[in-house]
Structures are given as C-alpha cells and as structure tokens.
A and B are shown apart, each in its own frame.
Chain A
Amino acid sequence: MSSEVSSDNPIYGPFFGVMGAASAIIFSALGAAYGTAKSGTGIAAMSVMRPELIMKSIIPVVMAGIIAIYGLVVAVLIAGALEEPSKYTLFRGFIHLGAGLAVGFSGLAAGFAIGIVGDAGVRGTAQQPRLFVGMILILIFAEVLGLYGLIVAIYLYTK
C-alpha cells in the first residue's frame, strides 16, 4: 500500500475527507442543538399560559432538527466516498473537506437564526396569533440558508 503512495495520493489524503465528513455533522448538530434549545425555552415559557398552541409552536424545533439531517446526508455521502490513500487523491480530500465545511457552517448559521427567531416568534404567537404566518416565513428563510449550504456541498461532491 505504501509503495503506491505518490504526491497525488499521499498517506494523509483521506484525512481531509474524514475531517469534511466530521465537520459536516458536528457543526450542523451544533446549530441544530442551539436552535432546539433556544426555541425550546420559548415554547416552555409560552406553554404555561397557552398549552393549546403546542402543536404550532413545535415547528421551530422540527426545523432545527432538519438542519442536522442536512449535515447527516452530506456526512454519509462523504463517508461513502472515502477510500484508502492509494485510491484517494489529495484533490478529492480537499473537495470533501470543502463540502463538509460548507454544509456544516451553513447549518450552524441557520440553527442560530432558527433558535433566535423561534424563541421570539413562539412567545409572540401566544400574544398575537396572526404572527404565526410571519414566524413561519422567517423560519423558512432561515432554513433555506442551511439548504444553500447543502446545495453547494452536493455540487462540490460531484466534482
């Protein structure tokens, strides 16, 4: 195996791919955890007075969970493409690292946005139910940030 190692297929090539897969799921999970926790405190505070709104107010938590699924999809894609150093060029390692970082940091940002918007939106919906449509729209725009990261990651993965 070590005899096939060249400057294009160095022994440390897969390191970048592994780091890409790991950072995809780690940062997405960070964002999803922040979004779940932040909007969860809002739901807990709101449900004391308006328990019938639970079903509506779970939506930010679900959307934060979806961010983690984006990271999971990319991490599984990258992990499926990893091979031993002799068949894995350094270029593919860089591509996979870039794909993982793209979806990871986009997921982190989207998770932060969903957490903050979910907290304030759920508390506001308890006072004024017509805010619900606005909250959903803002949450969708926050969610789409993670989706952009996923699109770039998949596009990078096809290179």
Chain B
Amino acid sequence: MSNKNKKSGGAGNGAAQKQTRQQSHDSQDYSSFKIVLFYCMLIVFLPVVTFFLLKGFVLDRFFSLSEVKVNIASAVGAVVSLHIALGLYIYRAYFGATGSKAVKED
C-alpha cells in the first residue's frame, strides 16, 4: 500500500490512470461476482425450497394422493427447477460474457 502511494506521488498522471483502471477492474469483478453468487445461490437453494414447498403444498391441496406420489412429485419438481436454474446460468454465462468483454474493450 505504501509502495503504491510513493509511486502515485512520483509519476502523477500515469499512476492516477492506473488507479482508475484498477478501480474499473474492481467494479467489474464485483459485478461479475454478484451475478455468479446470485446464480449459485439460486441453483443451491431453489431445488431444496421447491422440494419442501411442493411437498407441503401438494399435500395440503390434494389429499387423495398417496405419500409416495407426493414425494415423487416434489422430487421431480425440485430436479426440474434445478435444471431451469442451471439453464439460466449457462445462458447468462454464454451470452452475458460477450457483453462484458465488449464493456472491457471500451
């Protein structure tokens, strides 16, 4: 940290430019981290929440279903929701990454 301050004192304009570039890198890292964290949380927690919600909801609404069928329905629902979340993430990574690259080139 002290080394950086010395440099900025000596070189002036160049160091300031470097610092702004560093800041833009940091903000870019932060935004991509937010996106990745959001999708990872979605993929980890959405199936678990879907499983238990579906189990409670289906049990409440349709009492005619047997216990095994309710479990199967909630398990299938959890896996389907998991794959939807994964598909969203892959879509975002594939099409969103080109956008962020263009931003970087600016």
Contact = CB atoms under 8 A, between A and B. Distances in A.
Real complex partners, A and B?
Answer: yes
A37 to B, nearest CB: 17
B53 interface: no
Interface in B1-54: 29, 32, 35-36, 39-40, 43-44, 47-48, 51
B72 A55 contact: no
A80 B39 CA distance: 29
A45 interface: no
B43 A66 contact: yes
Bin the interface of chain B by size: 20 to 34
A143 to B, nearest CB: 9
Contact of A52 (B68, B71, B100): B100
Contacts, number: 70
Interface in B56-106: 67-68, 71-72, 75-76, 78-79, 82, 86, 89-90, 92-94, 96-97, 100-101, 104
Contacts of A55: 32, 35-36, 92-93, 96-97, 100
Contact of B71 (A53, A65, A80, A136): A80
Contact of B43 (A52, A62, A72): A62
